[in-house]
Amino acid sequence: MKKYVIGLDYGSDSVRAVLIDTENGAELASEVFWYPRWKEQKYCKPGINQFRQHPLDHIEGLEHTIKAVVSQSGVNPETVLGICIDTTGSSPMPLTKDGTPLALVEGFEENPNAMMVLWKDHTAVKEANEINELARSWGGEDYTKYEGGIYSSEWFWAKILHVAREDKSVVEATHTWMEHCDFITYLLADHKDLETFKRSRCAAGHKAMWHESWGGLPSQEFLSKLDPYLASLRDKLYDETYTSNEIAGHLNEEWASKLGLTTNTILAVGTFDAHAGAVGAKVDHHALVRVMGTSTCDIMVSNHEAVGDKTVKGICGQVDGSVIPGLMGLEAGQSAFGDVLAWFKNVLAWPLDNLVMKSSVLSDEQKKQLQEEVEAKFIRTLAEQAEAIPLSEVVPMALDWVNGRRTPDANQELKSAITGISLGTKAPHIFKALVNAICFGSKMIVDRFEEEGVKIESVIGIGGVARKSPFIMQTLANVLNMPIKVAESDQAPALGAAIYAATAAGIYESVIEASKVMGSEFEAEYFPQSSQVETYAKLMESYKELGQFVEEQTNKKA
């Protein structure tokens, strides 16, 4: 009998499902669902970095995509043996005592504080600073040490603390909080005890200061010094965590019926998208996997002997089993990567959106055609013209911190800057400067790993940017001065989730074994151009100088 699994990958804008043949990793069907409420930017205030998502976007997407791949593939539902969910993170949401998302409760349907707090929400900068100050001063365990030594506003406790202080009605109506990857798994599962439901080791270790050496989550004493609510919440969360090769439960009757599957389908413990993506791209020792989309997540694995008791400073955590059980998972990343270029596109498109598209001269059909042409050619044309600018020509210098800095050394209060603009500076020059900036930011991460003794021998790129932008990938190879392979799969995180599902279902004995068979091949490789490496190294120094200046000015204001 053929054996199939489903990987469900929740991104910032959409969710996609893939149905995979476990014998060879072949993708039999895939489907994408774009979040309708998110597309309208409901519950978001970009001016204050508030980004919330309604759980209905995710629940509707779950049903649509899985039903679609089961139908498209035509496989016997009895042969779909496993499902694994990966999501963005940290993206926690409040739940009632019966496990209902608070946003689905009467009176909270339109309350942003009752929504899922998306990973890129930075409203909790003040709370993150408090956590960091307390961790260094309270005289007990430094609970941030396995998370790079700096707790981020993008993470679990800071976000919950911010919401708790801002909206007491949410606190009073909430029983517990769940990470997105845990909640979607819980929604589908037949196991409905919130207290014993298997929570993700990946999410807990990287974002919630969970570590087995201090018995799980931070102590009540520590949390109470931040806010009594956090201390009371701790007992309603979890002590143990689990890796994604383990079974969280089986598909419950309600969702088996909705999806056209059976209750024999197992559910693997949930995980984060970047970590699943690394598995989908066949991550190995000394390889840095860069998941390149709106932001980046950089993932590595290492054996315990290589890392030992050493803590890598300024990254997003080191967690046993967060990528591959038995190996240490290391995470870093940039808060904005593709988002930097998307921001610039939106700036340039302002006249088009506010004048041309609102003009009474053009018909609706003409506006639609124009919009489609712009969408298809805007970034591509900018990239072509930017690539043609020789390095000998004066190009502005920019920082990639349009959404703060994730690593090295998280600081979400930092802002971007551009210098060196003249009357000769045109849009392609600024675009080239921004591409350089996101690549220089990547180099800072690679340098930090190596400074901390984590050796990097190869780089693997996955995601939309990696596959669609040769200009960015070649620039990155030149800046890093090392070759970069690009994974062939369009859906590496979903494929990685499917690999976890196949392992949890017992089709393979280990994630490594499953990854070797089911993981993505590579479609391209970029090599450093010796004629440009030295020039980029000099520009890198200018990037560092600008970054140091901006950070010093930010600290003075603080």
Q: What separation in angstroms does the CA of 215 have from each of 77, 232, 334, 539, 557? A: 41, 17, 30, 46, 39
**Tens-digit pLDDT profile for residues 237-282:** 999 999 999 999 999 999 999 999 999 999 999 999 999 999 999 9
> Encoding tokens for residue 198?
């298997």
What is the rounded distance in angstroms from the CA atom of residue 375 to the CA atom of residue 460?
A: 28
What is the rounded distance in angstroms from the CA atom of residue 177 to the CA atom of residue 116?
A: 10
Q: Would you say 475 and 368 are in contact if contact means Cβ atoms under 8 Å apart?
A: no
pLDDT for residue 308: 67
Q: In angstroms, how far apart are the furthest CA atoms of the chain?
A: 69
What is the rounded distance in angstroms from the CA atom of residue 313 to the CA atom of residue 493?
A: 26
DSSP string, 474-518: HHHHHHHTS-EEEES-TTHHHHHHHHHHHHHTTSSSSHHHHHHHH
pLDDT for residue 371: 87
Burial class (CB in 10 A: 0-12, 13-18, 19+), 541: exposed
Identify the CA nearest to 230 among candidates 330, 146, 151, 112.
151
Which helix (H) or strand (E) covers residue 203, if one does? helix 201-207
Cis peptide before 112 (omega within 30 of 0): no
Identify the CA nearest to 317 among candidates 334, 304, 299, 337.
299
Q: Would you say 79 and 3 are in contact if contact means Cβ atoms under 8 Å apart?
A: yes
Which residue type occupies 27? E
pLDDT for residue 558: 67
Identify the CA nearest to 202 among candidates 557, 519, 558, 493.
493
Render each residue's pLDDT in the chain as its tens digit; 558 residues.
899 999 999 999 999 999 999 999 999 999 999 999 999 999 999 999 999 999 999 999 999 999 999 999 999 999 999 999 999 999 999 999 999 999 999 999 999 999 999 999 999 999 999 999 999 999 999 999 999 999 999 999 999 999 999 999 999 999 999 999 999 999 999 999 999 999 999 999 999 999 999 999 999 999 999 999 999 999 999 999 999 999 999 999 999 999 999 999 999 999 999 999 999 999 988 899 999 988 899 999 988 887 767 888 888 889 999 999 999 999 999 999 989 999 999 999 999 889 888 888 889 899 889 888 888 898 899 999 999 999 889 899 999 999 899 999 989 889 999 999 999 999 999 999 999 999 999 999 999 999 988 889 889 999 888 888 999 999 999 999 999 999 998 899 999 999 999 999 999 999 999 999 999 999 999 999 999 999 999 999 999 999 999 999 998 886
Burial class (CB in 10 A: 0-12, 13-18, 19+), 258: middle
Q: Would you say 338 and 293 are in contact if contact means Cβ atoms under 8 Å apart?
A: yes
97-102-106 Cα angle (round to 5): 105
DSSP string, 241-286: -B-TTSEEEEB-HHHHHHHT--TT-EEEPPEEHHHHHHHHTT--TT
pLDDT for residue 392: 86
Predicted structure pTM score:
0.90
